[in-house]
Amino acid sequence: MYVHWKKLHRHGMRRAQDEVLPLYAGTRHFRIYCSNVVPGVLQTEAYATALLSTIARFQGTPDDAPDAALSRTERSQTLHEGGHTFAFLLEETVLRYRIGDAETMSGQLGNLLAVMALPNVSLGIIPFTAPRQIWPLEAFYLFDDRQVSAELLTAAVNVTAPSETEVYAKAFAGLAEIAVYGSRARNLITDAIAAHG
């Protein structure tokens, strides 16, 4: 299903944030790749507010960013509930793009460091210098093996055809091979925190 963001956000973004909560609650294994921003489930309230406000201005839709950010951060509770596993892949650019002010970025990147310690979370960073086997893609979220949500500039695309979800799973696996994890990922995050200083 192809849904235009302006239509989805015509009354503000809070409703759109609330509508995905059941999908998050019902998913056991998340695979999330982002090339442009920190994934919603990992966003701090300050980062989410800054990002969502920017989106509302760009789209010309009502700006309810603080309320929408609260709903977005509610998703992060799934990180701490039993029965969910998360595999995140972020391009290094995500660590460097400034969303909000320096304090917002430092808090957000510090949150990534904290989340990495959770036993049900794998966080990989794809360095600028990684030999590319797969080019940077649009952000996409795999919910178990049943649905993919891809984020385009103008719309959200939700894919449920097994042949297509398999392609996204293949892309995620290829991207995972060029990511760094553990101390190498932490070093990239701490370097980015210093750069935003």
DSSP-derived secondary structure for 168-194: HHHHHHHHHHH-B-HHHHHHHHHHHHH
* Domain around 160: 2-196
C-beta separation of 193 from 114 below 8 A: no
pTM over 0.75: yes
Q: Is 13 a residue whose pLDDT tops 80?
A: no
Tens-digit pLDDT profile for residues 76-110: 889 998 899 999 999 999 999 999 999 999 999 99
Task: Please write the tens of the pLDDT for every residue from 170-189.
Answer: 999 999 999 999 999 999 99
In the chain, the number of structural domains is 1
Distance CA 102, CA 192 (A): 11
Q: Is the pLDDT of residue 19 over 90?
A: no
- What is the domain-level CATH number for residue 35? 3.30.870.10
